[in-house]
Structure 1
Amino acid sequence: MTTIPTTVKHAGVDYTVKVIGIYGGLGGASGTDFYIPEGIEGLTSNSFAATYVQTLHLPSTLKWLDGWALMGTAIRHIVGLENTQITAIPFRLCEQSNKLSQHWVFPPTLRRIADASLAYNITLNDKEITLPEHLDSIAYDPWNPTASTFYSPRYLNRYERVTLLNPNPALMTHRGNDPTHEYYNNSTDMKNLFGTDVLVVNVPVDATHAYETNTDWSYFAGKYREQVNIGATGYTTYYLENENFKVPTGCTAYIITGVTPSGSITTPDNAIVKAFGAGKIIPKQTGFILQGTPNSTVIYQANVTGIEEDVTGNLLVGTATEREISGASYKYYVLSNSGDQGLGFYKQGTRGGASIKLKAHRAGLRLTESIARAKSFFIDFDAARENANVAGIRNIGQEAEGRDNVIYDLQGRRVKNPTHGIYIINGKKVIK
């Protein structure tokens, strides 16, 4: 193991080492590991030039790197980059370090990636990469070891899955801005960024529209995906402000268009529900309920082309940011499984229906006081799905049809195969 001192003495005075200068990384040194000690904040150009160590360990105190800092090394792996405080990966950081075989994990502080900064990485089988949330500037060809618009496939990672944590597309930049400069590059070819094998680009919720309408990032249109978590009940509310939502395979979406009184004080009222199966497109700015596999992460497409569903009369309201929703002459309810009737819409906490507080991209039920009830609302998802499945036989919008003789237990849950007991049928108690 090789390292450098954290303090040095000169003329009887102790100095703390903050920066490693040119050849300060013991150029020509060899060994398996080189540890840069905590406290070091910067590496200058050529600070590790010609070193023969195989693994370089970076300190969490590292804040900046100069171009060519790791030039011409035999380094194979860089450890701890993700824990540093650097904000930029500079031009030609790893110039001619052609033994580097690195899976890049970047620190959350990173703001900029320059041209050819990550070139000479020979890990051609690295299929996934994640770019951090605050990255707002990236070169068209950070993996390009040449100074021209032509890139060498030998060194180009061909990523299949890319994750972008910034909801705003990063600015794409050129190498230099002077056409007469030795390293000027005016390439705007987005294939130089991740290679030509990209299958999926994951982006934050409600960000696909921003990326697909960006001049550069539209190159990956159709490959963007977002995700939503489904809890233990198998249901969640959802809302997208800027883009529509394509119901993914294995899921069903629902809206609520009204409330039907149960006719009994012992059972909750029934919400009139309309279901949309996989492949249907929910318009933007629509609150809806999404059903999926319990305790799962659902991957979906947004901002898609196609015919959007009619959501006229939808009583679900949503928000793109966490906020409180209220309004005169309305009562508000949230989807919950903690009420006495199981999964349904309930007044939130002590608010008494006067308002609800929703997290970002969630929805709640808003009813006029004229139809609002003091109790909760039962949601018959099964009946809604059945209506959606027989769309070819009758109008899918006739949610209330065919509900005669639907059987519920005394907790308001639908029962398909009742045994002996007391049930609710058409709002009346029936003994079977």
Structure 2
Amino acid sequence: YGTLPSNQLKSPPFDEATYWIVKDDTSLREKAGNFEMYTAEGEQLLNQGVAVQLHGQFSLDLAQKSFRITAKAKYGSETLAYPFFEDRPFTEYKAVLLRNGGNDGAYTRIIDSLQSKIVDWTDSEIIHMASTPVIVYLNGEYWGHYNLRERINEHSIAAYEGWSDPKNVDLIKGDNDVLNGSYDNYGELLDFVESHDLATDAEALQTVLDWVDVDNYFDFMIFEMYFGNTDTGNIKFYRRNAEGEKWKWILFDLDWGLYNRNNDGCFIWLDPDGSGSRNFDNTLIRALLEVPELEEKFLTRYGYLYQNFLSDTDRILALMDDMVAEIQPEMGLHFNRWAGETSKLIAFDPPSDPTAAYNYWYNRIYTYTYNVIRARPYYVWGHVQEWFELSDEEMTAYFGPRPENTEDR
């Protein structure tokens, strides 16, 4: 087997593993398959029939695809009865992902997982995806390094929240893509916010505070801003469809986070024209931050997370070292399999030679990403000061003194 836990994924009657390289309407459909999990020493932990389908968006242009593994009764069981993640309390799952690193699949392959693990340190209760590295064999063929992740859907949300009925979860993606339940309540919320001045109408403000979990929403925005995530449209938020239930947000898909040392998270997420390059709706967060006491709450919380967790670059880099060390012994074999098959739609310059590809991966982490992590506290401090028009004294009160720019290794 190897140095990591492994997954055997079989999908009869498709005997050729290369079937799963092609992205088309056929391969995106659910297929019957079998999912096995083994320790690095070869002990079998799980073996059951499952539904298999390709997973992802732009990362589907990579030859090494991500897979969604879903338990269904018609294939053997309604759940995957195994505690995949030691830092989560669950002993069974409806679905998991074998993720290729997403849009980071041609670069570090760990950046999304790294940011989730940073959030693990904090006192935030926001839902975010657990992760563990694995090796995958597809129909008996070595398929390389993957990140085994939680699948965020109505079932996982119900498990986190302790709700008994996943069908009663309203789950929205992006602006208005309904994944489960209904968009109606959230649409009514946005209409209400757009038609009231929350800064001057105390009754309207209280209505919104009863409608939205502001603590959760602010944590979501703070993490997205600090990490500088530019993929502002691929977000998920949810509520239980019942009277008095509040909307909450989920932190996931951070492939474009910690990508650029100078990404201005405040501008990316708070631009009045909409968030990100595609101008996604940000009516709610902008309306909330126009309320002085909520702006104060936001900055206080941001400063707390910044000073106690996010700006601790030594700790973050030590975590990154541990994650790299865990997968490094496997990466030579991985690049022997996949070097030269990276789509130019995903990355422009990965080498096609396996040794050069391995060196590219390692150097990407320990030059580029290393410097981004080191530099973020300095740049974020300046972004917040400029956007919220704060003096040095005010910034120091919230965030502490501005750190030095220590990006160069």
Is this a same-fold pair by TM over 0.5? Answer: no
Q: TM-score, normalised by structure 2?
A: 0.21
Say which structure is richer in helix. 2
Q: TM-score, normalised by structure 1?
A: 0.20
**Structure with max Cα Rg:** 1
Say which structure is richer in strand. 1
State the structure with bigger RCO (CA 8 A, min sep 6), 1 or 2.
Answer: 2
